[in-house]
Structure 1
Amino acid sequence: MMNDTQQLFQPSEPATGNWISIGHPAVAEICSEGFDFVVIDTEHTAMGLETIENMLRAVHDDTASIVRIPSNDPVRIKRVLDLGVAGLMIPMIETGEQAEQAVKAMQYPPEGTRGVAPARASDYGRTFGEYFETADDELVTVLQIETKRGVENAEDIVSVDGVDAVIIGHGDLSASLDIFGEWTDERFESALDSIVTAAQDNGKPVGMLATDHEGIHRWVDAGVDFLLVGADIAYLSAGSDAAREEFEELVGK
């Protein structure tokens, strides 16, 4: 049920991901083909646990499934982990204390606080003993730094033991800096560099999401270790617009 992503997220070892926001198993099946990992977003979508579970069934076996949960909530963390994910992405982490809380929620006692029960993650209990022994080491904890306060505390966040990787939420970060979408603004570039440097100095890989070719080049140039190179809704809207525009150009509409 669980992919081993510990080797996937390593500093200076590029991994390629795809972002999924549309809650249908067919989308998960299509968008996981050929990728190292996918992120299923439940922070800004209407997906419930049943939808997530069915999408996990559709993700290709050699692709790691990571779910972004809505908040640093130990109850939500527990319930999504029980579905059988490879790891979680936890948004809006702003302090070392919040990072520690996330790590504890990801781990079973005595190190952590995750509730103990058989579920899909342990083949409905068939392999629960093995899962209990290995889950803490195999599950990946990816924290999002995406606010001015998070940048200020980036060193504290990435130095927490059990944080496997960080991802920079560039949209929220630019909004927090009052320069939304201004990727070349000196304040944004300084904040971005600060997070990348802090993460890599602590041996933690850092990633980002790109939604177009320009973004892929921009964030690779920024020095990230892994990249989500697109999103389902971006592919769908871009393809739809391009087809309509091509027709309208041909008929002079």
Structure 2
Amino acid sequence: MGDDLSIGDDFTSRLRACEPVAGCWISIGHPASAELLAGVGYDFAVLDGEHTEMTLEALATVVRAVAAAGTDTVPIVRVASNDPTEVKRVLDLGPVGVMVPSVETAAEAERAVDACTYRPHGRRGVAGYRAAGYGANLQEYVESASEEVLTIVQVESERGVENVAEIAAVNGVDALFIGPVDLSASLDVFGDYDADAMQDAVERIVDAADEANTPVGTLATSRAEVGVRDDWGVDFLAMGPDLAMLGETARDYLSTYRGRHE
């Protein structure tokens, strides 16, 4: 676990310094695909515990699979909700941090930070599970985790955009993450990422993050979107999900073959 912690420290420092880190998005709850993607050499991997079939047990297995790849890729878990109990259980698995969906106010951002912070400053309960070396490193982990564990909050609604300056300024929020699909739906321009309302919202989020010196990232769901989303002015980018990568590659294979036999 010690090596995992030092790798996480390096990534955390780079993210907080707004360096351009690149990640993948994992929605398949199987260790083989997670280990393969981590082996590619992404800086981080987001494990989606919100919209997928992954249980807590599956998330634990995938966290271990990312570590098993033997690269510097670190796991971040997107939890299903801003629930301190869920956040606590996920953090005990040993990811470098959590991503909390649909944060709309500073108070909700503070709730997320509290869930990632040990008492007396937060509400996270202490347990000697995987994150703490199954108890062997408990003292060291408790002393350092509140500063080292990442709290990333998603801004993905019209209300969240309205309050984004206050959200970005909350002490302990390490990064913002734009949820493009939900944000476009909230703005009544679903899927139209070039719409004025969408572009204005993205600009407002990026400006608020820059003002607070807080890194901001988003998701690219295709190779064509990588450059487009990077041009939004974000500091980091997640790419995928793995299901989209699999589907895109499978279609390319099939198209190549059929093109030879037309």
TM-score scaled by length of structure 1: 0.97
Q: Secondary structure at the match of 2:206?
A: helix
Match of 1:35 among 39, 42, 45: 42
Structure 2: how far apart are the matches of 1:56 and 1:71?
19
Match of 1:212 among 205, 208, 222: 222
Aligned equivalent of 1:86 = 96
Match of 1:68 among 78, 81, 94: 78
Match of 2:65 among 36, 53, 58: 58
Is the contact between residue 77 and residue 98 of structure 2 (CA under 8 Å) also seen in structure 1? yes
Shift of 1:245: 2.1
Task: Report the identity percentage.
Answer: 46
Unaligned 5+ segments in structure 1 are none
Q: Which moved more, 1:5-14 or 1:167-176?
A: 5-14
Shift of 1:212: 1.6
AA aligned to 2:21 is A
Q: Which moved more, 1:24-33 or 1:83-92?
A: 24-33
Structure 1: how far apart are the matches of 2:122 and 2:152?
16
Unaligned 5+ segments in structure 2 are none
Match of 1:107 among 97, 112, 117: 117
Structure 1: how far apart are the matches of 2:210 and 2:165?
10
Structure 2: how far apart are the matches of 1:119 and 1:100?
25
Aligned equivalent of 1:161 = 171
Shift of 1:168: 0.1
Is the contact between residue 18 and residue 214 of structure 2 (CA under 8 Å) also seen in structure 1? no
Q: Secondary structure at the match of 1:207?
A: strand
Q: CA RMSD in A?
A: 1.1
Structure 1: how far apart are the matches of 2:207 and 2:17?
12
In the alignment of these two chains, the number of paired residues is: 252
Structure 1: how far apart are the matches of 2:165 and 2:171?
12
**1:201 and 2:217 matched:** no
Name the structure, 1 or 2, with higher relative contact order (CA <8 Å, separation 6+): 1
Is the contact between residue 11 and residue 225 of structure 1 (CA under 8 Å) also seen in structure 2? no
Structure 2: how far apart are the matches of 1:12 and 1:161?
17
Structural mapping, 1:1-253, within 5 Å: 1=1, 2=5, 3-4=8-9, 5-33=11-39, 34-59=41-66, 60-61=69-70, 62-252=72-262
Structure 1: how far apart are the matches of 2:240 and 2:17?
21
Structure 1: how far apart are the matches of 2:200 and 2:86?
33
AA aligned to 2:171 is D
Q: Secondary structure at the match of 2:16?
A: coil
Shift of 1:11: 4.8
AA aligned to 2:144 is T
TM-score scaled by length of structure 2: 0.93
Seen in structure 2, the aligned counterparts of structure 1 residues 112 and 27 have a Cα distance that, compared at 3 Å, is same
